[in-house]
Amino acid sequence: MKELLFGTAGIPFSTEPRNTVNGVITARKLGLGCMELEFVRNVNVSKEAAPEVKQAAKENKIELSCHCSYYINLAAIEKEKRGASRSRLVQAATRLDESGGTRGAVFHPGFYMKRDAPTVYPIVLEQMKKARKELDDKGHNVTLRPETSGKLAGWGTLKETLRVCNEVENTLPCIDISHLHAITQGGYNKKTEFEDLFNDVEKELGKQALRDMHFHAQGIEYTERGERNHLPIDESDFNYRDFLLVLKEYKIAGTVICEAPDPEADVLKMHKIYQKL
């Protein structure tokens, strides 16, 4: 990508009547560049409606990603549950592709379930390779985007996420900056820490990955176990000004999705600041 686009998680609140096509049109009217389809409880764009969404996204120049089901655990103990999780991932990614989405299918890969990290890593890796193959076999070359975990129990430290992206084709990270902040008990909030983050991405995935990034950015409240809930950026300690500054300085391209309680208000705020930098 050449530039950094900003958008909402889900269709903007001001969308009337509330459906995906109108959400895309509203995003354009607001001056945004992307939007994340929320397939978190179900894939809420039907196969029949997907071409319409694709057309609207193209006409309005809105780049789409999707957030896959919350009920995915590629590291489940039971084999059947791993398979069912993989199907949910593949199903959402397929529908994103059919809807013309180019920014990737974001998902929480799974849970450690009290096992140590080296035990769980190969399990997640295997399932992601299988998911990739299933999508490729059907001609869906949509990018898989494992998201950095906000909870200690959730699989996916920054290191693990970058590593798995390196090992699976057409897989890139979804960096949730508030999750990194929560899981490190207040880290990833200084200018130097944001710089370190991009240096780490470049080291593991190469410079081209910095031109194809996908973020979740919002405020967060956390406990010793990590994420509790998302907060409006101005009611949190998120140092978004420096985050935006580093994005600009490092010429980061891709998409920034805001998952704040009012994504529209906060993403417009961040976009405005970014444009003026």
Cβ closest to Zn ion, residue 147 vs residue 160: 147
Cβ closest to Zn ion, residue 54 vs residue 179: 179
Q: Rounded to the nearest 10 degrees, what angle do helices 158-167 and 191-205 cross at? A: 20
Cβ closest to Zn ion, residue 54 vs residue 154: 154
Tell me which H or E stretch contains 186. Answer: none
- Supply the minimum distance, in Å, between the C-beta of residue 214 and Zn ion: 11
Name the residue with the smallest CB distance to Zn ion: 147
What is the identity of the amino acid at 179? H
Cβ closest to Zn ion, residue 63 vs residue 147: 147
Q: Rounded to the nearest 10 degrees, what angle do helices 191-205 and 240-249 cross at? A: 40
Q: Rounded to the nearest 10 degrees, what angle do helices 117-137 and 79-98 cross at? A: 40
- Supply the minimum distance, in Å, between the C-beta of residue 143 and Zn ion: 16
- Supply the minimum distance, in Å, between the C-beta of residue 146 and Zn ion: 10
- Which residues have C-beta within 8 Å of that of residue 33, sequence separation ≥ 6? 3, 5, 6, 7, 27, 61, 62, 63, 255
| Other residues' Cβ atoms within 10 Å of the Cβ of residue 82 | 21
Cβ atoms of 85 and 76 within 8 Å: the answer is yes
- Supply the minimum distance, in Å, between the C-beta of residue 170 and Zn ion: 20
Cβ closest to Zn ion, residue 70 vs residue 186: 70
- Supply the minimum distance, in Å, between the C-beta of residue 256 and Zn ion: 14
Give the interface with Zn ion as residue ranges (CB under 5 A): 147
